[in-house]
Structure 1
Amino acid sequence: MIQPIVFIVVTITAFGLAFVQYKRIRRNVLLGQDEAIEGPSSERWRNMLLVAFGQKKMFKNWIPAIFHLFIYVAFLLTQIELIEILVDGATGHHRIFAEPLGGFYTFLISFIEILSLLAFVATIIFLARRNLLKVPRFHKPEMKGWPFKDANLILYGEILLIIGIFSMNGADMVLQSMGAEGYHQTGAFAVSSWLGPTLFGGLDAGTLMVIERFGWWLHVLVVYAFLNYLPISKHLHILLAFPNTYFARLTPRGQMKNMPEIQKEVAAMMNPEAAPSSTESQEETMPVFGASDVFHLSWRDLLAAYTCTECGRCTAECPANITGKKLSPRKIMMDVRDRMEEVSKNIDSKDPKFFPESPQTMLPNKLGYDDGKNLFDYISREEIHACTTCNACVEACPVLINPLDIILQLRRYEILVESSGPSDWLPLFNSLENSQSAWAMSTPRDAWNQ
């Protein structure tokens, strides 16, 4: 009776700690600006099923995609076995579904073992690609330090999980052949039926039970550690890829969103009679032009920042990065997430200095928060100026993240609020203002053919 009690305490603790972290992430995402969800839901479900669940965009490079699929499918199906482990742990039973399911149980566990073996091979290959072959996109400047360690840690965790599965099942197979009490006859599992006798064949029943329990608890504890590790890891995309692909914008790639505030000003210029009175103008709050901080981005952009897989496909395709510019679309997403984490930490501290009565920032946010920093402390002007708006990064992302939207929002702030920008952009602005043309030519510039 001690094990079920210990298991229940550990489970409640693990899920309680995880709930706090996922609640914090939800709070952080909702710090962003509201944005309406447009487009047919059927198209959104299609995106989620094909891109997140079906991993459609991964198969542009099919060799790593196959290995990733091994890990992904093994992860999904292993959760079926985890359900049984949770029930066993809480009730004190052993393989509670084995007898009711009969032969199907043997098939299911065997299938999971085959996938786990393939996942083990894939994990070794991925570790080799990062640490021995040193694939260039995994060794860009933004990947030094924690991001590189994070990618390795999760792969090590996957190996531990697989060791737990085969230790548990392998010892179980030998115990069944010995007729040990409490170990149901389940039939031969595809891998453990030969791996178990090979590794544990000469051991006594007591030692085998210790190994079986070790594998069982290792499986449980790795899953619980993984659950609590995800919120601080790039592997949060395992969960967030689904909502991110569902809520991805359905507008054509590269299409900029109109700003109602600008449209209102233009309408007033074109029709002075429709302009708001001075009293109404004074009552209006300062409009937000572009974005200088996470508060001014859409909640969709913040969700995308947490969803980023840090795979680097966007950076590998970016023509600016390829030609030696500082811009890395992956770094843009990582910087937005890092800024969110900084803001989150300061909010949680409840330090009054972060909530001044008269914030210095020109642009409002929902909490009155002001720490004197913004996204430009993370993302340099050189980076956002280097972007050619070609959409290569958007096209390359396997989970429908749009770094370009954030870059354009930062540019809008720089131009419309700070009246700043590269000097070689000035002729363009003057031409648009004076002749409504980017080439300093008047509207009847085609009159020559008349």
Structure 2
Amino acid sequence: MHFIPQIIFIVLLAVGIYLFAKKVGFIKANILMGRDEIINDNKPLRWRNVLLLAFGQKKMFKNPLVAVLHFVIYAGFIIINIEVLEIILDGIFGTHRLFAQPLGIVYNFLINVFECFAVGVIIVCIIFLIRRNVLHIKRFLSNDLNGWPRSDANYILISEIILMCLFLTMNATDTILQGRNYGHYAQHITGNFLFSEHLQFIFNHLSSPQIEVVERMAWWLHIAGILAFLNYLPYSKHLHILLAFPNAYYANLEPKGKMHNMPEIQKEVLYAMQPELIPADAANETTHKFGAKDVADLSWKNLLDAYSCTECGRCTAACPANLTGKKLSPRLIMMKTRDRMEELGKRREKQVENWQSDEKSLLHNYITTEELRACTTCNACVEECPVSISPLDIILQLRRYLIMEESNAPQEWNSTFSNIENNFAPWKFSPEERDQWVNS
């Protein structure tokens, strides 16, 4: 009977880790649907981005107050969960506060630090709930977030408040029982902690056995809640808590205004200008697809971007096309790309034959021509993103497919293309006449 709680804990832990690993494998397979892309240059700068952009929240500090609040909730939740290691070991070995005796006064210092962060997380979560649901900030009211996305953020914030309250309750009841020299709690005297001692009055009127029940319930609910939170993350926009780090590492380091030419197009132009360079076996060369129609045509980095999206809406709030009432929303571009990956991933998991061919595609069925044409390629969305996502890269690739594979462009664009092709400039006059404006 003594080992039953340990067995229950080990089973709970194993199930939680298994389900999380299974979902992570699903997401990894979805990301790897994309084209291969080699990103291994300038590693020192990439690690610097991880520290400054992912952990340091550098871009958030354009608004210092919000940045500090976000850093508290982000760093606080990560740091507090260091204490989960002790809970896991206690659960496996049937011990209680395993590190208290070996660490001594250092243990009390660490728990006090954790409690400071716990209180900070609770306060910040309440502030964020007010910002989202009371202050009516425009980017949180957008139709982009209708349905599940709007509820998702609230669920996460409420969950974090509950987990932090359970942590403080666990400490408050534990230290009461220590003070009463009750049972095995008397063997681990830590003294009171910074914030939880102010919660003891809530439980002091209870008998020691009743307080033990409260402490055990808080302990079990805390670890079960963390495992539930862990398994909720992959289904939530808060997956960026994990993916912000690799996404910052693999961020594009080139100037934001630089667009990459397509080697296939450059080769076609070269052959048109110098036919003598066409190789003898050119007819046998593999035909390349220009641009992207579906998620498999995008690179794995584009798909990692989609899963890393925080849905904060800063990109859309800065988008000049969106601000003038056009349909384009960079945030929605990323959300739709992720939705398309999820749909194809489920078909793959069900082992549907030809799972990548379901008569739908990212272009047209998820992202419309109207959205793509509204983009001015100004890079405002890329500049604003706190985790270095590039909606523009996806937009450009989809737009290239529209124009080069489907010949689907507005008449004004076709006229410009024709002028560039024939006159080497967007204007409708020959190069020889280009200097005649000085005579007018």
Same fold (TM over 0.5): yes
**Deviation of the 1:341 alpha carbon:** 0.5
**Alignment correspondent of 2:387:** 399
Q: Is the 8 A contact 1:254 1:404 kept in 2?
A: no
Taking structure 1 as the reference length, the TM-score comes to 0.94
Between the aligned partners of 1:42 and 1:440, the Cα distance in structure 2 is 49
1:262 aligns with 2:268: no
**Where in structure 2 are the equivalents of 1:185-334 lying within 5 Å?**
185-195=189-199, 197-277=200-280, 280-334=281-335
**Alignment correspondent of 1:142:** 144
Structure 1 pair 186/441, CA: closer, same or farther in 2 (3 Å)? farther
Q: Secondary structure at the match of 2:183?
A: coil
**Alignment correspondent of 2:375:** 387
Q: Secondary structure at the match of 1:182?
A: helix
**Alignment correspondent of 1:421:** 409
1:88-147 CA distance string (max 9 Å, x none): 111100000001111111011011101110110110111111111121101111100000
**Deviation of the 1:420 alpha carbon:** 0.8
Between the aligned partners of 1:234 and 1:182, the Cα distance in structure 2 is 42
One of 87, 90, 95 as aligned partner of 1:88: 90
**Deviation of the 1:311 alpha carbon:** 0.2
**Alignment correspondent of 2:107:** 105
Q: Percent identity?
A: 52
Q: Secondary structure at the match of 1:401?
A: coil
Q: Is the 8 A contact 1:35 1:299 kept in 2?
A: yes
**Alignment correspondent of 1:340:** 341
1:343-367 CA distance string (max 9 Å, x none): 1111112122x35xxxxxxxxxxxx
Between the aligned partners of 1:282 and 1:323, the Cα distance in structure 2 is 47
Structure 1 pair 250/437, CA: closer, same or farther in 2 (3 Å)? same
**Deviation of the 1:66 alpha carbon:** 1.5
Between the aligned partners of 1:71 and 1:448, the Cα distance in structure 2 is 61
Between the aligned partners of 2:206 and 2:435, the Cα distance in structure 1 is 91
One of 359, 362, 377 as aligned partner of 2:365: 377
Taking structure 2 as the reference length, the TM-score comes to 0.96
**Where in structure 2 are the equivalents of 1:122-161 lying within 5 Å?**
122-161=124-163
Between the aligned partners of 2:419 and 2:40, the Cα distance in structure 1 is 35
**Deviation of the 1:86 alpha carbon:** 0.7
Q: Is the 8 A contact 1:169 1:192 kept in 2?
A: yes
Stretches of structure 1 that go unaligned for 5 or more consecutive residues are 356-368
**Where in structure 2 are the equivalents of 1:24-35 lying within 5 Å?**
24-35=26-37
1:310-330 CA distance string (max 9 Å, x none): 000001111111111111000
Between the aligned partners of 2:430 and 2:395, the Cα distance in structure 1 is 30
Q: Is the 8 A contact 1:244 1:399 kept in 2?
A: yes
Q: Secondary structure at the match of 2:159?
A: helix
Q: Secondary structure at the match of 1:249?
A: coil
Give 1:311's aligned amino acid: C
How many equivalent pairs are there?
Answer: 433
Q: Secondary structure at the match of 2:388?
A: coil
Give 2:194's aligned amino acid: A
Stretches of structure 2 that go unaligned for 5 or more consecutive residues are none
Runs of 4+ in 1 over 6 A off after TM superposition: 447-450
1:168 aligns with 2:156: no
